[in-house]
Amino acid sequence: MGSPKQRIVETTFDLFSKQGYNSTGINQIIAEAGVAKASFYQHFKSKEDLCVEFLNVRHEYWFKELIDFSSQAEDLQNQLIKAFDFLIYMNEKEHFRGCSFLNILSEIPADNIKILSVIQSHKSDLRNYFLELLKDDALSDHIYMLFESSIIESQLFKSNELIEKSKQIVTNLIY
């Protein structure tokens, strides 16, 4: 079933997704992960530290999945379309959970720099992903914004409709 640390992070993903960051307590995470309280505190000093670890693990997982998924494309246009198809794939896999980073952002105080910086770093990496593909600052930011809004709208409406529309817009933009 994995190490205690892995179980804690996996349980955190489930609970943060279902209940949100603020409504999930350390004691519930400990109980549902099946670990001892001492084991939790051996790995994490606080819920904030756990959140940072969770977001770092999520970042690694999400980017690996995105790159594996989109690298199957034979050219740039298809690679960009595959990135949007990846959102549809994740929506089906995770039942329109949306972006873990933005979900947590909406719950933390504006002065929580420790968590905020991890969220900003994730979004910067995503923005850079599109810039590296396109080598065009304005165009890559336009596609990044379509991508981000597609995540939010698909979560809000539990629908891939706007992802499909965004794919058409991207096709028109790069041809």
Per-residue pLDDT reduced to its tens digit, 22-34: 999 999 999 999 9
Structure tokens at 21: 């960051």
Give the three-state DSSP class for 58: helix
pLDDT of residue 18: 94
Nearest Cα to 21, choosing from 52, 43, 44, 64? 52
**Per-residue pLDDT tens for 91-147?**
999 999 999 999 999 999 999 999 999 999 999 999 999 999 999 999 999 999 999
CA distances in angstroms from 131 to 45, 80, 136, 138, listed in the order given: 37, 11, 6, 9
pTM of the predicted structure, to 2 decimals? 0.94
pLDDT (tens digit per residue) in 70-79: 998 999 999 9
Per CATH, the homologous superfamily of domain 47-174 is Tetracycline Repressor, domain 2 (1.10.357.10)
Count CB atoms within 10 A of the CB of residue 7. 17
Alpha-carbon distances of 17 from 44, 94, 97, 98, 111, rounded to whole Å: 20, 9, 7, 9, 23
Instruction: Go through the chain and tell me how many residues it has.
Output: 175
Q: Does the pLDDT at position 149 exceed 80? A: yes
Residue 158 phi, psi (nearest 5): 50, 50
- pLDDT given for residue 175 in this prediction: 80
Give the homologous superfamily in CATH for domain 1-44: Homeodomain-like (1.10.10.60)
The whole-chain average pLDDT of the chain stands at 96
Question: Which residue ranges make up each domain of the chain?
Answer: 1-44, 47-174
Start-to-end CA distance of the chain, whole Å, equals 48
Place of tokens 């969220």: 119
Q: Cα separation of 145 and 153, whole Å?
A: 12
User: Is the CB of residue 80 less than 8 Å from the CB of residue 174?
Assistant: yes
Strands (E), the chain: none
**What contacts 33, CB < 8 A, 6 or more positions away?**
4, 7, 8, 10, 11, 40
